[in-house]
């Protein structure tokens, strides 16, 4: 496998993406794994290369007080709202990220909302790089 399937990994949240072999479409089979005690689970869905580029653009510009979203509308939706972490952050450089995950953006139920603390801004920048690299994958895997 010439790519790393892990796109984003934070405490309690992991996104893995694998290109779906195709002659025409650039889709990714994705697994969004969440451990937010007492809840945990995996949402399996499909996103396009355009979804990944859009999220990468948002993550690169994401400042405290901002938000970013993967998917939405009829697709699964993962939304990030970022703030500077209050407490346990002596240098003031760590972020608190509120994550909201739903299997369909136009019907927000069931919905899981959870917080991730002590997120270095570099983790989001690295995720943006991985998203762009996957979206630009060439050659695209073809079906057998």
pLDDT band of residue 106 (cuts 50, 70, 90) is: confident
pLDDT per position as a tens digit, 65-96? 999 999 988 889 999 999 999 998 888 889 99
- Given this model, what pLDDT does residue 105 score? 80
Q: What is the CA radius of gyration of the chain?
A: 15
Instruction: Decide: helix, strand or coil at residue 89.
Output: coil
How far apart, in whole angstroms, are the C-alpha atoms of residue 28 and residue 126?
19
Q: Which CATH number fits domain 6-135: 3.30.2450, 1.10.1660, 3.40.50, 2.60.120?
A: 3.30.2450
Read off the pLDDT band of 2 (50, 70, 90). low
CB 119 within 8 A of CB 95: yes
pLDDT value at position 104?
A: 85
**Can you read off the two tokens belonging to residue 132?**
């762009």
Q: Alpha helix locations (H) across the chain? A: 49-60, 121-135
Whether 42 contacts 33, CB under 8 Å: yes
* Domain assignments of the chain as residue spans, ordered by start: 6-135
Q: What predicted TM-score, i.e. pTM, was given to this entire model? A: 0.91
* pLDDT, tens only, 20-76: 999 999 999 999 999 998 999 999 999 999 999 999 999 999 999 999 999 988 889
Which pLDDT score, from 0 to 100, does residue 112 have?
92
């Amino acid at each position: 496998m010439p790519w790393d399937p892990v796109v984003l990994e934070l405490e309690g949240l992991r996104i893995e993406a694998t290109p779906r072999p195709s002659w025409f479409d650039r889709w990714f089979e994705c697994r969004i794994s969440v451990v937010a005690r007492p809840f945990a689970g995996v949402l399996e869905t499909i996103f396009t290369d355009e979804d990944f580029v859009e999220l990468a653009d948002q993550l690169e510009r994401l400042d405290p007080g901002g938000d970013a979203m993967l998917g939405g509308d009829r697709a699964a939706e993962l939304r990030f709202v970022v703030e500077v972490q209050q407490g346990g952050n002596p240098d003031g450089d760590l972020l608190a990220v509120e994550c909201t995950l739903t299997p369909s953006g136009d019907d927000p139920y069931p919905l899981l909302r959870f917080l991730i603390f002590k997120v270095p801004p570099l983790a989001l920048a690295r995720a943006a790089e991985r998203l762009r690299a996957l979206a630009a994958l060439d050659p695209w895997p073809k079906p057998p």
